[in-house]
Amino acid sequence: MTAGRDYDSVAVGTVLGPLTVPVTRTDLVRYAGAAGDFNPLHFSDRSAQQAGFPSALAHGMLTMALAARLVTGWSGDPAALCDVAVRFTRPVPVPDDGVGARLDIRGTVTAKLDGRRVRVALDVRCDDVKVLGSAQAVVQLT
């Protein structure tokens, strides 16, 4: 069995998403445990405020994982990512208020590459502010 989106069905300009993901403090604690990253900046308001932030911040790698999820979900193949790169340019504060933060994740196909691969530019925003810079992925299609 093969999985995956057909390369020939995709054009430069094809849009992925949007994927909207709520992120609560519980999600940060769950990610901390799953990833083994116990930097208190990501669960303690006290630590975050000492560092000058309003509340605990989402792990950059959680944000990156959610962006990757948009791409693999779109492609239909959980192993489709050949290359994924981001810069963590803005923090994502996650207040402990029962609501948390909301990430809006979009992608756009920017190039069709050899080997039935495409390049995707990723746009991840929290409160309409981009939180990742130079975010892109190379995706294997079928």
Partner 1 sequence: MAADRPAAGHIHPPTEIYEVSRAKIREFAEAVGADSPAHSDPAAARDLGHADVIAPATFPFLVVHRASSRVLSGPEWGLADASLVHTAQRIVPTRPVRAGDRLAVTLHVESVRRLAGRDVVRMRGEVHTDGGEHVVDTFMTFTAGGPDEKETGR
- Kindly tell me which residue out of 42, 56, 72, 118 binds partner 1, with binding defined by CB under 8 A: 72
- Kindly tell me which residue out of 82, 95, 117, 142 binds partner 1, with binding defined by CB under 8 A: 82
Q: Is the peptide bond before 40 cis (omega within 30 degrees of 0)?
A: no
- When asked if residue 121 is in the footprint of partner 1 (CB under 8 A), the reply is no
Which residue type is seen at 103?
A: L
Could you tell me the smallest distance in angstroms from the CB atom of residue 75 to partner 1? 11
Which residue type is seen at 30?
A: R
Could you tell me the smallest distance in angstroms from the CB atom of residue 134 to partner 1? 8
Which stretch in 10-18, 30-38, 112-120, 123-131 sits in contact with partner 1 by CB under 8 A?
Answer: 30-38
- Kindly tell me which residue out of 12, 15, 79, 129 binds partner 1, with binding defined by CB under 8 A: 79
Buried b (16+ CB within 10 A) or exposed e, 41-70: bbbebeebeeeeeebbbbbbebbbebbbeb
- Kindly tell me which residue out of 5, 10, 25, 31 binds partner 1, with binding defined by CB under 8 A: 31
Hey, is 30 helix, strand or coil? helix
- Kindly tell me which residue out of 48, 62, 101, 105 binds partner 1, with binding defined by CB under 8 A: 62
Contacts of 36 (CB under 8 A, 6+ apart): none
Contacts of 59 (CB under 8 A, 6+ apart): 28, 31, 32, 35, 37, 39, 42
Could you tell me the smallest distance in angstroms from the CB atom of residue 84 to partner 1? 5
**Among candidates 134, 126, 133, 139, which has minimal Cα distance to 69?**
139
Binding residues (CB under 8 A) for partner 1: these are 1-3, 21, 27, 30-31, 33-37, 39, 60-62, 64-66, 68-69, 72, 77-79, 81-88, 134
